[in-house]
Amino acid sequence: MLPEFGSARFVAEMTMKHLILAPLRGFTDVVFRNAFHRHFRGVEEAVAPFVTSIKGRCIKPSHLRDLAPADNRALPVVPQILSNHPDEFVCLANALFDLGYREINWNLGCPFPMVAKKMRGSGLLPHPDVIDRILDQTLHGISGNLSIKTRLGRFSGDEMDHLITVFNRYPLVRVIVHPRTGVQMYTGRVDLNAFDVCLTRITHPVVYNGDIKDLATFQSLASRFPASAGWMLGRGLIANPFLPEMIQSGTRLICHRNARFEKFHDDLVDGYRRQFSGPGHVLDRMKGFWGYFAADFPDGRRMVKRIRKADSLFQYRQAVTAVFTGPERWG
Ligand SMILES: Cc1cc2nc3c(=O)[nH]c(=O)nc-3n(C[C@H](O)[C@H](O)[C@H](O)COP(=O)(O)O)c2cc1C
């Protein structure tokens, strides 16, 4: 039922921003996605880190562990495929549709040279003709919706001109644009003028992704690009998991941040203890997260150094307790 005009629910629904958790391989896996969803609000869906298609063989069971439907019921998830081969793509995509997923995302953004030199991820962007052929041969064969996550090009934003023509030829459900080139990796500035061109010229819904690290950045992007069909948050959300709530409420004033973060953190540790075979793996994973968690703190480097020195879960716990009992963080 539609909310009554002017009611609190009406206002809330009219102003809800469509926020999407970005895929970050090694970080936003099922353990993170579920723990995040249990402790924080504001995100409506997640795109999962990519699964690679395999030559001559559709799927390895270990590939799909992160996407087991029973573990992915809380936060809606869109699986992502890294592939440059239509038959392998169709096979993997249909296996995922058979699991109940309704949309598959194609990764055209991975910047890593090892991936790109095999003409996968952003390595495909200088070859719009190949992308055209893959879309042509794939879209007939898959039994659900396809979206794309792309950069502006591999070497130059000029590559986008041809890419847009190709994207517009096919029934994609949306295009997520990270307005950097592949060779930029994760450095340098996002090109907002180029994103503007994508938003104007791509005929599918276009989602913005890149460097949304605080409320002010989001607000500035949202006022410049009101036509964006959604906002994907990656490193900024991991660094500050309260960010989606700040964006939805329009305020940075969120209470009990340390206590809430600690509960989320402990849930994450428990999840990885269940998933990994030994404490060393749990420790490595959590140390990786602190590279992001501490990003905005004035004393972040020192804090991470102390946490990284821990060589048992006991020492690790002591180091992070000092953070949780210190001044209020994450905001
Ligand atoms: C460690 C790491 C892993 C990533 N893994 C993926 C991935 O599996 N699939 C993908 O499309 N993008 C991946 N990305 C890119 C992010 O989804 C996102 O596009 C990028 O970080 C920019 O957004 P942000 O500034 O909000 O983080 C990864 C980025 C990082 C830093």
Give me the percent of the chain exceeding a pLDDT of 70.
Answer: 95
* The total number of residues written for the chain in this structure: 331
What is the three-class DSSP state of 292? helix
**pLDDT value of position 5:** 60
Q: How confident is the model at residue 253 (pLDDT cuts 50, 70, 90)?
A: confident
- 61: tokens are 């069971």
* C-beta separation of 179 from 210 below 8 A: yes
**pLDDT value of position 11:** 55
Tell whether the model's pLDDT for residue 145 goes beyond 70: yes
CATH superfamily entry for domain 8-249: Aldolase class I (3.20.20.70)
Ligand 1 centre to CA of 223 (Å) is 24
* Ligand 1 atom showing the smallest separation from residue 212 Cα: 26
Q: Is the CB of 182 under 6 A from ligand 1?
A: no
Instruction: Kindly report, residue by residue over 51-106, the tens digit of the pLDDT.
Output: 999 887 678 788 899 999 999 999 999 999 999 999 999 999 999 999 999 999 99
**For residue 224, what are the contacts with CB-CB under 8 A and spacing of at least 6?**
192, 196
Q: Is the CB of 185 under 6 A from ligand 1?
A: no
Instruction: Kindly report, residue by residue over 210-249, the tens digit of the pLDDT.
Output: 999 999 999 999 999 999 999 999 999 999 999 999 999 9
**For residue 97, what are the contacts with CB-CB under 8 A and spacing of at least 6?**
104, 142, 143, 144
Tell whether the model's pLDDT for residue 115 goes beyond 60: yes
What is the three-class DSSP state of 57? strand
Strands 206-209 and 175-181: parallel
**pLDDT value of position 2:** 46
Give the residue among 216, 208, 170 at the shortest CA–CA distance from 191.
208
Closest residue CA from atom 26 of ligand 1: 234
**pLDDT value of position 155:** 98
Q: Is the CB of 33 under 6 A from ligand 1?
A: no
Instruction: Kindly report, residue by residue over 183-217, the tens digit of the pLDDT.
Output: 999 999 999 999 999 999 999 999 999 999 999 99
Task: Using the structure block, give the residue that is written with the tokens 């890294």.
Answer: 82
**pLDDT value of position 296:** 78
**For residue 196, what are the contacts with CB-CB under 8 A and spacing of at least 6?**
224, 225
Q: Is the CB of 234 under 6 A from ligand 1?
A: yes
Residue ranges of E strands in the chain:
19-21, 45-52, 77-82, 103-108, 145-153, 175-181, 206-209, 231-233
Give me the percent of the chain exceeding a pLDDT of 90.
Answer: 85
**pLDDT value of position 59:** 80
- Interhelix angle 192-201/215-224, rounded to 10 degrees, is 40
Q: Is the CB of 211 under 6 A from ligand 1?
A: yes
Residue to probe by mutation, ligand 1, list 19, 20, 25, most atoms within 8 Å of CB: 25
In single-letter form, the type of residue at position 114 comes to: M
Residue 253 or 116, more confident: 116
* C-beta separation of 203 from 175 below 8 A: no
Name the average pLDDT for the chain: 94
Residue to probe by mutation, ligand 1, list 19, 20, 21, 24, most atoms within 8 Å of CB: 24
Q: Is the CB of 22 under 6 A from ligand 1?
A: yes
Residue spans of the domains in the chain: they are 8-249, 257-324
Q: Is the CB of 3 under 6 A from ligand 1?
A: no
Instruction: Kindly report, residue by residue over 5-39, the tens digit of the pLDDT.
Output: 666 555 555 578 999 999 999 999 999 999 999 99
* C-beta separation of 44 from 20 below 8 A: yes
What pTM did the predictor assign?
0.95
What is the three-class DSSP state of 98? helix
Q: Is the CB of 306 under 6 A from ligand 1?
A: no
Please provide the DSSP assignment of 183-198 as one string: TTTT-S---HHHHHHH
